[in-house]
Amino acid sequence: MIKTILHFDSIDGIQNYDTILKKYHCYNTTIKINNPLKNIKEISLKSIEMPLFFNNIRSSNNSNLFSFNFSSGIYNNVSIGCTIPESNYITIASLVTAINNSISTVLSSYNLSLVLYYNDYNISIQHSFSSLTLNKCILINNILGFDTGTYTSTITTTNLYCLNIDHYITMYVTNLSGADTTNVNGRLLSFKIILPQTNSNILFLGESNTFNQTISITDPKFVLSSMNIMILDRWGYPINGGNAHYSFTLGINFDNNKELKYI
110, 127, 156: which is the final residue of a domain? 156
Domain interval for residue 141: 65-156
How much is the pLDDT for 219?
83
Q: How many domains does the chain have?
A: 2
Q: How far apart are CA 189 and CA 61, in angstroms?
A: 17
Q: Are residues 70 and 138 in the same domain?
A: yes
| 101 falls within a domain | yes
| 263 falls within a domain | no
Burial class of residue 3 in the structure, from the number of CB atoms within 10 Å of its CB (0-12 exposed, 13-18 middle, 19+ buried): exposed
| 77 falls within a domain | yes
What's the predicted TM-score (pTM) here?
Answer: 0.84
| 59 falls within a domain | no
Cα–Cα separations (whole angstroms), residue 250 to 21, 154, 169, 180: 27, 52, 17, 17
Edge-to-edge strand list for the sheet holding 131-134: 75-83, 65-72, 131-134, 149-151
| 60 falls within a domain | no
User: What is the enclosing helix (H) or strand (E) of 7?
Assistant: strand 2-9
How much is the pLDDT for 199?
63
How much is the pLDDT for 213?
85
Q: How far apart are CA 56 and CA 47, in angstroms?
A: 24
Block mean pLDDT (10 aa), the chain, length 263: 87 94 94 90 92 92 97 95 95 97 95 93 94 96 92 89 90 73 61 78 75 83 91 92 92 73 49
Q: Are residues 25 and 78 in the same domain?
A: no
117, 138, 156: which is the final residue of a domain? 156
Nearest to 60 by CA among 193, 231, 240, 234: 240
103-113 per-residue burial string, b: 16 or more CB within 10 A, e: under 16? beeebeebeee
126, 156, 186: which is the final residue of a domain? 156
Contact predicate 48/171, CB 8 Å:
yes
Which CATH number do you get for residue 245? 2.60.120
Q: Are residues 120 and 186 in the same domain?
A: no
Q: Are residues 88 and 114 in the same domain?
A: yes
| 34 falls within a domain | yes
Q: Is 20 helix (H, G, I), strand (E, B) or coil?
A: coil
| 260 falls within a domain | no
| 161 falls within a domain | no
Q: Are residues 176 and 204 in the same domain?
A: yes
